[in-house]
Amino acid sequence: MKAAAADQSLLIELQLIDSAIMQAKSKLASLPEREQIVAIHTRLKASAEELAIVEAELADVTIDLRRSEIDVEQVADRITKDEVRLSTGNASPKELEQLQHEVATLGKRKAELEDGELEIMLKHDGVKTRVEELRSDEVGLQKLELELNVRLENAITEIQAEIDSKLSERANVLPKIESPLIDLYEKVRSSNSGVGAALLVGNMCQGCHLAINAVELERIKTLAADEVLRCEECRIILVRI
């Protein structure tokens, strides 16, 4: 195949543009913010699940605590009443003795109930702290998610602008190259990970970075400048400088 040397040089320009587009697209697909956002979603989900459990536990413990407070209050009221009766002395000695005995028993009962109340109170505080921690984590994660979304959008906009600019460069270069050469370039490129043309520098193909053997190199030297070369190793279009 033959093509003007100038067109072959433009092919290298086109390749640089296409490589830049490929790199930008790959960067777009692998922006770290995407994975970070997914990780945050996972953490938010786990946090919300734990929060639901801990909030239910807090509701239960709050009821337990209220019950326990009522129990203590009731016993304390009975003690107060008994003590009032005792202090007025308005009872028979046997009754007074019974009252004293009751006050002592109630005092013991009250102490036990207060111990229980303290235990529930500690549990209540622990659960409440955990709820607060989880709520605060949730707020922090949501804030981070928001920031990451902004960063992701900015990065996408920036890369997309780069791609658009390269596409417009491509559109400018494309009409300057004769179409059979473009067709060959596209064909090679589609089967060669996006690389269709490379420079021949010295005896090296810049596509596969392998040396062209001496015999082939000698043959190349005899060829006219408009002869389109292909690398024997990678089949890429080799452009002479």
Interaction site with Zn ion (CB under 5 A): 205, 207-208, 231, 233-234
Q: Closer to Zn ion at the Cβ: 28 or 234?
A: 234
Tokens of 116: 């229980």
Q: In terms of CB distance, is 21 or 231 closer to Zn ion?
A: 231
In the structure, how many helices (H) and strands (E) does the chain have?
5, 4
Angle at 59 between CA 55 and CA 60, to 5 degrees: 115
Supply the minimum distance, in Å, between the C-beta of residue 234 and Zn ion.
Answer: 3
Distance CA 69, CA 74 (A): 9
**Is residue 120 a contact partner of residue 134, using CB atoms and an 8 Å limit?**
no
**Beta carbon of residue 155, minimum distance to Zn ion (angstroms, whole number):** 34
For 13: left if phi > 0, alpha if psi spans -120 to 50, otherwise beta; the answer is alpha
Question: How far is Cα 227 from Cα 115, in angstroms, rounded to an integer?
Answer: 98
In this complex, which beta carbon is closest to Zn ion, that of residue 59 or of residue 223? Answer: 223
Contact, 11 vs 238, CB < 8 A? no
Least distance from Zn ion to the Cβ atom of residue 238, Å: 7
Q: In the bound complex, what is the minimum distance in angstroms from residue 15's beta carbon to Zn ion?
A: 13
Tokens of 63: 């009821």
The least distance separating Zn ion from the CB of residue 25, rounded to whole angstroms, comes to 24
